[in-house]
Structure 1
Amino acid sequence: MICPLAQVEEIYKTTQGAVYQCSRKNCYWLEFQDTTTAFKISDFFSFKKRIDAIDVASMIGDASRAADFEIIMPFRTERCFLLRVEDVLALREVLSGAKFMIELNSEVKKILREGNVLAV
């Protein structure tokens, strides 16, 4: 559950999850697997890298029970993610979409700032 006092803005959402930005706390909120996890900005991008680094092909090809799940404990959170292959793929989609939207927003702001300088 996101703090009711937080001022959040949706960044990216799928049927599997969503990412919100909180301007009050300067953090990102990840909604996934029916829970919400807060990340500092740098921790959010580190978490995305960890998820992207999971070897899905190895998980699929390995017949042992240990390969059925990946356990990820993000830095500076109390959350533990227990991810199946389909969860990893769904989480990657949410995180990649959010990263794209964050970068797009940054570029738009940069262009608008440069445009304001030229308009003066």
Structure 2
Amino acid sequence: MICPLAHVEEVFKTAHGTVYQCSRKNCYWLEFQHTTTAFKISDFFLLKKRVDGMDIARMLADTSRAADFEIMMPHRTERCFILSVQDILNLKEILAGAKFMIELNSEIKKILRKDALLVI
């Protein structure tokens, strides 16, 4: 659950989850698999890197039961993700969309600052 005192803005949302940005705590909240987890900015991008590195092709090719799921415990959280191939694909989509929106927002702010300096 997101802290009721936090000021959050939706960054990206799919049918499977949402990423929020909290300006009060300077962090990102990931709502996924019916839970909400807070991440420091660096930990959020590390999570994305770890999820992107998961080998889905290996999971699909391996017929052992152990290959059906990937277990991941992100840094500095008490959360443990147990991810099927579909969960990994859904999480990749959420994290990729959030990263794109974060970078787009940063570029827009950069351009607006340049324009403001040109006006002065």
Q: Same fold (TM over 0.5)?
A: yes
Give the aligned partner of residue 100 of structure 1. Answer: 100
The one-letter amino acid paired with 1:94 is I
1:117 pairs with 2:117: yes
Give the aligned partner of residue 82 of structure 2. Answer: 82
Unaligned ranges ≥5, structure 2: none
Give the aligned partner of residue 29 of structure 2. Answer: 29
| RMSD over equivalenced CA pairs, Å | 0.3
Q: Alpha-carbon deviation of 1:14?
A: 0.3
Matches of 2:83 and 2:61, distance apart in 1: 16
Unaligned ranges ≥5, structure 1: none
Q: Alpha-carbon deviation of 1:12?
A: 0.1
Percentage identity across paired residues of the two chains:
72
Give the aligned partner of residue 58 of structure 1. Answer: 58
Q: Alpha-carbon deviation of 1:50?
A: 0.1
Would you identify which runs of 4 or more consecutive aligned residues in structure 1 move more than 2 Å? none
The one-letter amino acid paired with 1:59 is M
1:39 pairs with 2:39: yes
Give the aligned partner of residue 48 of structure 2. Answer: 48
Give the aligned partner of residue 6 of structure 2. Answer: 6
The one-letter amino acid paired with 2:44 is F
Matches of 1:86 and 1:80, distance apart in 2: 17
TM-score (norm 2): 0.99
The one-letter amino acid paired with 1:2 is I
Aligned residues: 120
